[in-house]
Amino acid sequence: VNESVRQDLLGLAANVPQTAADVTKAAFQAISAGVQVSDVVPFLQEASKVAVGGATSLTSAVDLLTSATNAFRNQNLTAADAADSFFTAVKEGKTTIEEINAVFGRGAAMAQFGVSIDEMNAALAALTKQGMPTAEAMTRLQALVKTIANPVGQVVKGFKALGFEAG
């Protein structure tokens, strides 16, 4: 990390509730996860908002945002858009940033089927609002998306169960 970025990170640490050590650790984590060095300070500003608003650590917020931006990269998801989407899920459902972070790996796979992060989080909010735990809701969403994405496989299984052979 060059001197300019180092100074920017120190400046960020002076303006967020996390310590300089927290910011440095989170910067290394973000860069290791694919955030460009030139983008790390704005990325950490978003992560700091998630950490504060979501009552979680900066490293947990970085973990969630890097996972989201990497998984939904083909949809041009930004850290700010991801943060907004997660906050909406928390506001509209009965879940937390920590709970979402714990199960996000299951949800990340939905991106490959064209599901947007907003669609995923809206469904997550709807299910948790009805009392379903976050982990179960994410698992069910993942299974539903996979089933819908592969209807032919389900039809073939159905035919085989009836004694017919396909293909």
CB 50 within 8 A of CB 88: no
pLDDT at 166: 54
CB 43 within 8 A of CB 79: yes
CB 100 within 8 A of CB 124: yes
Alpha-carbon dihedral 58, 34, 29, 107, rounded to 10 degrees: 50
CB 93 within 8 A of CB 129: yes
For residue 90, what are the CA distances in angstroms to 123, 138, 164? 12, 14, 47
CB 86 within 8 A of CB 100: yes
DSSP state of 132: -
DSSP state of 130: T
pLDDT at 146: 86
pLDDT tens profile 81-125:
999 999 999 999 999 999 999 999 999 999 999 999 999 999 999
- Residue of 115, 131, 38, 21 lying closest to 71 (CA atoms): 115
Return d(Cα 38, Cα 109) in angstroms, integer.
28
pLDDT at 16: 92
pLDDT tens profile 120-147:
999 999 999 999 999 999 999 999 988 8
Cα-flanking dihedrals φ and ψ of residue 151, to 5°?
A: -65, -30
pLDDT at 154: 63
Return d(Cα 87, Cα 66) in angstroms, integer.
16
Q: What is the mean pLDDT of residues 65-70?
A: 97
